[in-house]
Amino acid sequence: MCNLIFINYLLSKSNKFYNNDNPIKENDLNQALFYVNRALSIETFPSNELLSQAYFLRGKINWSLKNYIESILDLDKTIKIEKDHYLAFYYRGKAKRELSLFDEALKDIDITIKLKSNERDYFLERAFLKIKLKLFSGALDDFDNAINIDHNNSFIFFQKGIYESQLRNFGEAVKNFDIALKKSLKNDFHRKIIQIHRNFAEEKYIENFQTLLNKNKLFINYKNY
């Protein structure tokens, strides 16, 4: 009976932790970790599917608790049982990113996207990894992939605008910030943040344009001379 209680608790908690990136109280995480550890202490699980779910759940909890090495070890076990468990690859990639294992993380996110290619967050994660690895055009492609999936999400346009600014493509940055502003009508705080970045990009765009004009004037004067 006691074992059944732990397994049922595991299953009920999975709805909360299974596919949810929202912050969860640390006490809840530690309580869940306690019960999953107890469940995994059972010598024989009723099925490989439940065992895989238990390892994934503990890996996800450890990821949430920033125990990234422990998380990776459990997600390895999930993947060994279920080779097409895209969420295990996703969170293993995120854990590796936190450990600055960017090449390895990118491999996991690539597999995630091969297994499930209709989630914007997977493309955003890959975009951020490609930025870390200086794969600039690939990062822009993945921002666009995320936009194609969720074109009403202001955050994606905002992040793409920031990246365009980092590449000194200030005109493109302004365009993306403008779209982000249009799609963020209900959140004044977000709009203020976007507007600050937009104003900076616009100033830099005008400054670069003026510099270019001045260079052209010097060139024209020299040719006339």
pLDDT in tens, 58-87: 999 899 899 999 999 999 999 999 999 999
How much is the pLDDT for 178?
93
Mean pLDDT, residues 141-155 taken together? 95
**pLDDT tens-digit profile of 83-120?**
999 999 999 999 999 999 999 999 999 999 999 999 99
How much is the pLDDT for 222?
40
In a domain, residue 144? The reply is no
Average pLDDT score, the chain: 84
For 168, list phi and psi in degrees, rounded to 5. Answer: 65, 25
∠ CA 90-96-100, rounded to 5°: 140
Contact 95, 127 (CB under 8 A): no
> What domain range is 217 assigned to?
152-225
Helix (H) / strand (E) element for 70: namely helix 68-81
In a domain, residue 90? The reply is no
Spatial CA neighbour of 54 closest among 66, 65, 63, 45: 45
In a domain, residue 75? The reply is no
Residue 48: is its pLDDT beyond 80? yes
In a domain, residue 195? The reply is yes
Tally the domains of the chain. 1
How far, in Å, CA of 164 to CA of 158, rounded? Answer: 10
How much is the pLDDT for 53?
87
Q: Which residue has the tokens 């530690």?
A: 30
How far, in Å, CA of 147 to CA of 154, rounded? Answer: 9
∠ CA 49-53-57, rounded to 5°: 175
Q: Which amino acid is at 15?
A: N
